[in-house]
Structure formats: structure tokens, C-alpha cells
Amino acid sequence: MQSHELCYAVSTAPDADYRFGGTLIDIGDVFLHGRTEEQAVNALGNTHGSIECCNGQWYVFYHRQTNRTNYSRQGCAEKITIASDGSIAQAAVSSCGLNQGPLQGEGFYPAFICCHLTAEKGAAFSHPDVMKMDYPYLTQDCGDLEPEDVRMEHDSTDPVQYVRNIRNGATVGFKSFAFSDLTEIEFALRGSGSGAFEVRTQLQGEICGSIPVEGLCASWKEKRGQVNIPDGVSPLYFTYRGSDSVDLKGFRLVCGNSRKKVSDK
């Protein structure tokens, strides 16, 4: 067992004869379909959690790493299924959490719900001495906020947390969305980089669009590009190709019917 995974054991008694069952969740999707630590989809570090049944659905609760440390964490949840023999298949990390299905393929989404965050050379152990400024990571410009803080009232549209230090070849990924007539994607970006984000629905798949990155500064700016993504359920992966680094606060999925509604007003 590794610190970046949660595992389970089963027994017919509460105090004896436990048998190892396997991995419930791994924050880098390590072990899932044979994935190795070198192929991790997120910075690795410790995770803690449990399982719970909510409204008839079982979930595994865990955390991913932020701020290039093992002591700054993002709470997450994924659906799991307990089979009749007591076994539980490893869940994949996602951006859906407690949602009842894929995210709606329209509207604004904060970058901090990403479930894939790698540099061109992959992921690393979550520590500043290891990651340095070679990897993208989740962070924020202020201290931790309590739920009742006034800034949290606007977090869904103006996120406090964002992805920092996206450099050439880095990929930010989200799973999954239910797309219908998606035509454009608009990013909220800042930084000193210049280039473009390649948009894909599979990591090694064809490029479905490009978001230009130019004229950025220390303030957040909106950059938009057209995409050609088939209707249906799929992930989104954004790979940066360019100079220096950029930060991503969030993105807006713009559908053809949305554009029509605006033009009709």
C-alpha cells in the first residue's frame, strides 16, 4: 500500500480475519488499468478518507494535493460500487464529485476541479523541493477561507483557487462533460506566456480546437477559441504550447444554442 492510495479489507468479523481487497482510489490513478507511478495524472502525496453511503449511493471520500505540499489538500469524492461478493473496483479520479452524472457541457467551470494536472514530463511528488517551478499546481492568492467568508459567495463564478505555472507541454484535464452543440471555449488566463492551448477529448487524441494565448498580464484576461467536439460524454484536456508560464482560473463552455439566445435578445 502506498500513501497516495486508499485501500480496503473485508472480513466476516469486525475484529479478525481481514482479507486485503485492493485499491479504492489513488490520487494519481496509479494502479488503475496498470498505470504506474511514473504515469500518475496528478502530483502524488498522502491521502486520507473513508467510504459512506449517501442516498443509496456509495462514495469514497479522499483528498488531492495543492500548493506543492502534502499539508495543503483538496477534498474530493468519487462513486464506488460494492459488488455482491464484497469487492470494490478502483474508482478513477474525476471532476464530478458528488454530482449524479457528467457535468453539463455548458457554462463556467473553475480550473480547480481538474482531475489531471501534469507537466510535459509527467507528475511529481508534491513537495516544493521536488516540484520547484517545473510543474503546474493548484494554489490561491489568499489564505484559507471559512465557508461563511463573503468571498466564498462568489467562488462558483470568481474562483479563489486556480491552476498556477502552466508551462510548455503541461496538461490540465477534466472528466467528464455531457456535450451538445459546443462551439467555443473561453479561458480566464493571466501570466507572461504566449502560445496556445490545444483542446482534446482524449490525452493522445486529435486536436479539437485551439485557444490563443497572447497579450496576457498580471490581471485575468479572457481568451476564446472555436472547438469541434462531438455531442456525447467525454473528458476535456487542455495542453499548453508556448513560452514562459500562464495561470488558469476557469473556463466557459459556449454552445451554439447559447449564442443564438444572446443574438436573439
> What is the tens place of the pLDDT at every residue in 57-75?
999 999 999 999 999 999 9
Residue 264 has a pLDDT of 43
Alpha-carbon distance 76 to 213, whole Å?
30
Tens-digit pLDDT profile for residues 71-111: 999 999 999 999 998 999 999 999 999 998 999 999 999 99
How far apart are the C-alpha atoms of 185 and 250, rounded to whole Å? 10
The neighbour count for residue 222, using CB atoms within 10 Å, is 11
What span, in angstroms and rounded, lies between the C-alpha atoms of 232 and 178? 5
Report the Cα 192 to chain-centroid distance in Å.
23
Q: Which pLDDT value is given to residue 183? A: 97
Tell me how far apart the alpha carbons of residues 47 and 40 are, in angstroms, rounded to a whole number: 15
Relative to beta strand 103-104, strand 171-179 is: parallel
Residue 1 has a pLDDT of 79
pLDDT at 259: 52
Average pLDDT, rounded, for the chain: 94
Which domains occur in the chain, in start order? 1-93 (no CATH), 99-265 (2.60.120.260)
- The values of phi and psi at residue 211, to 5°, are -110, 115
Answer whether residue 131 shows pLDDT above 50: yes
- Among 10-14, 37-41, 141-145, where is mean pLDDT lowest? 141-145
CA distance 27 to 9: 19
Please state, in angstroms and rounded to a whole number, the distance separating the CA atoms of residues 160 and 69: 18
258 confidence band (pLDDT: 50, 70, 90): low
pLDDT confidence tier of residue 257, bands split at 50, 70 and 90: low
Q: Do the strands 171-179 and 209-213 form a parallel or antiparallel pair, or are they unpaired? A: unpaired
Per-residue pLDDT of 198-210, as tens digits, reads 999 999 999 999 9
